[in-house]
């Protein structure tokens, strides 16, 4: 008799072995079901979190756009008379000095 056939006959004839195999299979099924429920819940909560983050990102994008518009409006208000009224003075033109290179230093 082969080894596989002997194990099969032992399982068929032994009630305790059948009961143990059934408990192991039921425990495995329960673990798989719990893991399945965990993954489904995780996916659901991640989808909800993503939706809220997308809404927040959209709101922040709108706020940035409004701030850019207000910045551009303020930039258009700045002109020479406004700056002078704040106490700034006009800059004198730069003076550049040049040197003729007719002599070479020898060491």
pLDDT, tens digit, for every residue of 1-23? Answer: 688 888 888 777 888 888 888 99
d(CA 87, CA 100): 40
The number of distinct structural domains making up the chain is: 1
Domain contains 61: yes
Q: Is residue 77 part of a domain?
A: yes
43-81 pLDDT, tens per residue?
Answer: 999 999 999 999 999 999 999 999 999 999 999 888 888
pLDDT given at position 71: 95
Q: Which domain holds residue 45?
A: 3-85
Helix (H) or strand (E) holding 96: none
Q: Which two tokens stand for residue 64?
A: 């940035």
Mean pLDDT over the full length of the chain: 89
């Amino acid at each position: 008799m082969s080894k596989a056939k002997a194990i099969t006959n032992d399982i068929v004839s032994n009630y305790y072995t059948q009961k143990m195999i059934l408990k192991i299979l039921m425990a495995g099924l329960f673990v798989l079901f719990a893991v399945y429920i965990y993954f489904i819940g995780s996916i659901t909560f991640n989808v909800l979190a993503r939706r809220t983050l997308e809404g927040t990102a959209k709101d922040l994008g709108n706020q940035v756009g409004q701030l850019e518009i207000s910045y551009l409006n303020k930039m258009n208000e700045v002109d020479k008379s406004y700056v002078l009224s704040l106490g700034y003075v006009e800059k004198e033109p730069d003076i550049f000095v040049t040197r003729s290179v007719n002599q070479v230093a020898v060491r």
